[in-house]
Amino acid sequence: MSEPIETSFHAPRLASGAPQPEARHAPPPRYNFIGGHNDPAIIPGDALAEAAARVIRRQAPSLAMYHLGQGRLGYPPLREFVARKLAARGVTGLSADDIMITSGSGQSIDLVNQLFVGPGDTVLIEEFSYSGAIVRARSAGARVIGMPLDSGGLRIDALERCLADLASRGVTPKYIYTIPTVQNPTGSILPLDRRRALIALSHRYGVPIFEDECYADLTVAPDAPPALHALAPRQIIHIGSFSKSLAPALRLGYATADWSVLGRMSSLKGDGGTGALDQMVAAEFLGERFEAHVGRLRTALRAKLDTMIDSLEREFGASIEVWRPEGGIFVWMRLAGDTDVRSLLAPAAAAGLVFNAGPDWACDPESAKSWLRLCFALPDERTIRDGVATFAQVCFEQTGSPRRGDNRDRAET
């Protein structure tokens, strides 16, 4: 189909590089394995409703003021809760005034880029990482260098070589962006010795660490190493989110850092505040029920992860490489041979299934062309099983593999 001819009154006035209009919204597909969605069955509707009624009755007059009359860092009880929550990650001694609430963690990433990155600057990001972090860094003008990963997370030896090489050319990266505790998309947890080594490199080369702990509440095992921020508060810009531990439709992230950084992020946050009801209701609910809620969520996600892994083994057998995550809501996997997963997007969509193509989750897209990410928090277990079977059938029809699945030979449909 050719490009539509633009007849809008406004078209001649658009800036260069303006995007095309978005497609009208379509309902989510039957097998929705993308995005950071949560488990709908675990959303605590009654408790949230009660928390909302209580806090709104108590705080209503403050809604009349921008920022609830409480300043740009956000609703104080939510900041106090984040300070307590971070203490459980080993980050001690913070008060509410060391925390800024943001409209999702994405806003924190935007603010950090705005603060540090100019055109042509270099930033280091794990070779496979959150697409939003890669895209946002590039939008800010950064040259993104991928840092190699293994099953333990960031490879310190490779990072050291990279930093030394850049230093020899007079380049100091603006930051090292890392997701050390349930890495996105590989699901690894960086061991304590690597955390210490990473901090030592950051210190030696004068490169701030930008730590994203969006998934750290959702580890399978209860004993993850402390946050990087706990080990070297001065060097670390630490962000997190309630999208994964509570609900992504609530737009709530947070940041903590030395005031020399956080105070500047606050100066740049010119949005008139993060949504007050999202903040107030979350604070009211989480203050009393966070531990119990996250406990239920971890149990539910663990069951869905097991279902996802079982289904992948049953349908794909040994034809794929699966990284079993140490928490979180997704599985990172590689298809057989030289398959380019991008060629599967359209046939999968035609079968009612969407997945995240590895190239979108990689600093070097070609390096991840056979990789993909399957998110499992949203679909129920039956949908996971049926979806994986559907996906295996799509893969077989497009690539000839996997030929066997669920103890039978596949046939073209």
Query: Binder to a copy of itself among 93, 150, 206, 292 (CB under 8 A)?
Result: 206
Pick from 86, 159, 207, 374 the residue near a copy of itself by CB under 8 A: 207
The helix-helix angle for 156-168 and 192-205 (nearest 10°) equals 10
Contact letters (x/-) for a copy of itself, 208-247, by CB under 8 A? x-------------------------xx-x-----x---x
CA distance 208 to 229: 11
User: CA-to-CA distance for 380 and 355, rounded, in angstroms?
Assistant: 16
Gap between the Cα atoms of 25 and 34, Å rounded: 16
287 binds a copy of itself per the rule CB under 8 A: no
Nearer CB in complex with a copy of itself: 189/209: 209
Position 92 contacts a copy of itself (CB under 8 A): no
Interface of this chain with a copy of itself, residues 350 to 409, rule: CB under 8 A = 377-378
Q: What are phi and psi of 182, to 5 degrees?
A: 70, 80
Shortest separation between residue 369's beta carbon and a copy of itself, angstroms:
25
249 binds a copy of itself (CB under 8 A): yes
Q: Which of 179, 114, 235, 230 is nearest to 361 (CA)?
A: 179
Stretch that binds a copy of itself, among 44-52, 338-346, 380-388, 403-411 (CB under 8 A): 44-52
Which member of 79, 85, 251, 373 binds a copy of itself (CB under 8 A)?
A: 251
Residues in 266-285 that interact with a copy of itself by CB under 8 A: 266-268, 270-278, 281
Give residues 175-194 in contact with a copy of itself (rule: CB under 8 A): 175
**Contacts of residue 366, Cβ cutoff 8 Å, sequence gap at least 6:** 359
Segment 111 to 130, residues that bind a copy of itself, using CB under 8 A: 114-118, 121
Q: How many CA atoms lie within 13 A of 337 on its CB side?
A: 11
Question: What is the longest distance spanned by two Cα atoms in the chain?
Answer: 66
- Ramachandran angles phi, psi of 107, nearest 5°: -65, -35
Stretch that binds a copy of itself, among 170-178, 218-226, 347-355, 398-406 (CB under 8 A): 170-178
Whichever of 65 and 346 has its CB closer to a copy of itself, that residue is: 65
Rounded CA-CA distance 397/395 in Å is: 5
Closest distance of CB 248 from a copy of itself, Å? 5
The one among 99, 262, 333, 362 contacting a copy of itself by CB under 8 A: 262
The answer to the question of residue 159 lying near a copy of itself (CB under 8 A) is no
CB-CB contact of 81 with 103 (8 Å): no
263 contributes a contact to a copy of itself by CB under 8 A? yes
Q: What is the residue type of 221?
A: A
Query: Residue 312, class by beta-carbon neighbours within 10 Å (0-12 exposed, 13-18 middle, 19+ buried)?
Result: buried
Give the range of 84-92, 106-114, 162-170, 396-404 binding a copy of itself by CB under 8 A. 106-114
Q: Which is nearer to a copy of itself, 21 or 222 (CB)?
A: 21
Among 1, 3, 24, 413, binds a copy of itself (CB under 8 A): 24
Distance of CA 236 to the CA centre of its chain: 18
Do 257 and 263 contact (CB within 8 A), yes or no?
Answer: no
Q: Binding to a copy of itself by residue 19, rule CB under 8 A? A: yes
What are the angstrom distances between the C-alpha of 398 and each of 349, 382, 384, 413?
Answer: 13, 24, 21, 12
Residue 168 binds to a copy of itself (criterion: CB under 8 A):
no
* Positive/negative CA dihedral, 271, 272, 274, 277: negative
- Based on CB atoms, which residue is closest to a copy of itself, 62 or 398? 62
Shortest Å, Cβ 13 to a copy of itself:
5
Phi and psi torsions of 401, nearest 5°: -140, 140
Comparing CB distances to a copy of itself, the nearer of 243 and 393 is 243
Cis bond upstream, residue 402 (ω within 30): yes
Instruction: State which of residues 5, 15, 221, 318 lies at the interface with a copy of itself (CB under 8 A).
Output: 15
